[in-house]
């Protein structure tokens, strides 16, 4: 038995046995997993591939990497309002490093258990480090939150209170910004331990008119909603929620990080203005703060305003000039 068979046994089959049950009659260890879809539900699927240097830094602790690899996938289910059901993990590793694998598995399965989602299959191979997860979930027929439903006059919301922190952390690692120890650790957590907004997504079923998760930056991801919905928006740039750490930075950096930082894994969503009380109730039910940050307008495109109602340059919506 080669070292990669050992990984497969340790890492995958152990969890596969846990997974097998009435909902997942066959878990890891056969050619396919067998899952019983819930009658009346639609099936949702998303795949993400994580590569070192692009989606995580070599400095990340294995446990946090395991968490993040699943978190970014759960975030896609959250954006559709889905209930997580199962996931597969394909892993390419340069070598079978037991400490790495143990940490990675710990972070991965802690998050999986928190969301009641089973690892049902996967693959391991030798090769450059690469993590590919496919998540599957369910929603009642026709209730998936999509990018295409935003309507004229809808409010725009974003979840969480630390938008932009993940990007601030990246800039710290890049050396373009400096921060003291505690502040560094808190933004580093935002980058390495994003919390997928699964409960919020489910609470917004039948309420939000559109939703997306913030992976590439708020403005860019909101732009996908606008394009698919055939509408425009006005965004109150200074109303965006941010941490005390980020709020202590230059205003220009604050705006760049919140508007176009990326890697936040918060939800941006729209809902009719008449349903503000229900949105607040959904947020409370999900124990996830949300902030109203703008409004859907008929005119295509995105317009940014500051706290004084002055127009801000759209260049803020892209971090490109900041990139190395």
* Pick 135 or 237: Cβ nearer its own copies: 135
Per DSSP, 134 falls in state E
Least Å distance, CB 250 to its own copies, is 27
Say if CB 168 and CB 257 are below 8 A apart. yes
Q: Are 17 and 137 in contact (CB under 8 A)?
A: no
User: Residue 28 Cβ, how far from its own copies at the closest point, in Å?
Assistant: 10
209 is in an annotated binding site: no
Q: Which of 115, 149, 152, 150 has its CA nearest to residue 135?
A: 115
Cβ distance to its own copies smaller for residue 13 or 238: 13
Q: Is 217 annotated as a binding residue?
A: no
Q: Say whether 264 counts as a known binding-site residue.
A: no
242: annotated binding-site residue?
Answer: no
Q: Which residues pair with 119 in a beta bridge?
A: 87
Give least dist CB 265 to its own copies, A: 11
* Distance set, CA 91 to CA 8, 113, 231, 301 (Å): 10, 20, 40, 40
Of residues 60, 62, 67, the one with CA closest to residue 193: 67
Task: Tell me, rounded to whole angstroms, the distance of Cα 97 from its chain centroid.
Answer: 28
CB of 266 to its own copies, least distance (A): 13
Contacts of 119 (CB under 8 A, 6+ apart): 12, 15, 16, 19, 27, 28, 86, 87, 88, 89, 108, 109, 112
Quote the least distance from Cβ 42 to its own copies, whole Å.
5
> Which is nearer to its own copies, 138 or 165 (by Cβ)?
138
Q: Which lies closer to its own copies via its Cβ, residue 76 or residue 171?
A: 76
CB of 178 to its own copies, least distance (A): 28
Which is nearer to its own copies, 186 or 229 (by Cβ)?
229
Strand partners, 26: 34
DSSP state of 322: G
Does the annotation flag 122 for ligand binding? yes
Q: List residues near its own copies by CB under 8 A.
A: 25-26, 29-37, 39, 41-49, 51-55, 76-77, 79-80, 82, 86, 88-92, 120-123, 125-128, 130, 132, 134, 136-137, 139, 141, 144, 146-148, 211-213, 228
319 annotated ligand binder = yes
Half-sphere exposure of 74 (CA within 13 A, CB side): 30
Residue 92, H or E segment: strand 83-93
154 is in an annotated binding site: no
Is 213 within any annotated ligand binding site? yes
- In the complex with its own copies, the residue whose CB is nearer, 136 or 203, is 136
- Known binding site for substrate: residues? 55, 263, 319
- Known binding site for ATP: residues? 122-123, 147, 215
């Amino acid at each position: 038995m080669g070292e990669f068979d050992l990984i497969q046994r340790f890492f995958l089959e152990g969890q596969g046995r846990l997974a097998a049950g009435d909902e997942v009659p066959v878990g890891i260890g056969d050619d396919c997993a067998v899952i019983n879809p819930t009658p009346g539900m639609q099936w949702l699927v998303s795949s993400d591939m994580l590569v070192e240097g692009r989606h995580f830094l070599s400095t990340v602790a294995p446990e946090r990497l395991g968490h993040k690899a699943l978190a970014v996938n759960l975030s896609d289910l959250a954006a559709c309002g889905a209930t997580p059901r199962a996931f597969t993990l394909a892993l390419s590793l340069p070598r079978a490093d037991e400490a790495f694998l143990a940490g990675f598995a710990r972070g991965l399965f802690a998050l999986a258990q928190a969301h009641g989602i089973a690892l049902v299959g996967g693959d391991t191979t030798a090769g450059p480090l690469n993590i590919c997860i496919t998540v599957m979930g369910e929603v009642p027929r026709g209730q998936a939150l999509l990018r295409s439903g935003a309507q004229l006059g809808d409010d725009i919301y974003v979840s969480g209170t630390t938008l932009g922190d993940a990007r601030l952390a990246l800039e710290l690692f890049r050396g373009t910004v400096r921060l003291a120890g505690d502040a560094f650790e808190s933004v580093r957590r935002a980058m390495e331990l994003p919390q997928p907004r699964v409960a919020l997504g489910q609470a917004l079923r039948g309420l939000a008119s559109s939703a997306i998760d913030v992976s590439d930056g708020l403005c860019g991801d909101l732009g996908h909603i606008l394009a698919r919905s055939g509408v425009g928006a006005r965004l109150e740039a200074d109303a965006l929620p941010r941490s005390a750490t980020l709020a202590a930075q230059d205003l220009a950096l604050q705006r760049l990080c919140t508007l176009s930082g990326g890697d936040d894994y918060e939800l941006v969503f729209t809902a009719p203005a008449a349903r503000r009380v229900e949105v607040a109730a959904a947020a409370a039910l999900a124990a996830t703060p949300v902030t109203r940050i703008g409004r859907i307008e008929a005119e295509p495109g995105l317009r940014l305003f500051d706290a004084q109602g002055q127009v801000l340059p759209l260049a803020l919506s892209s971090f490109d000039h900041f990139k190395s």
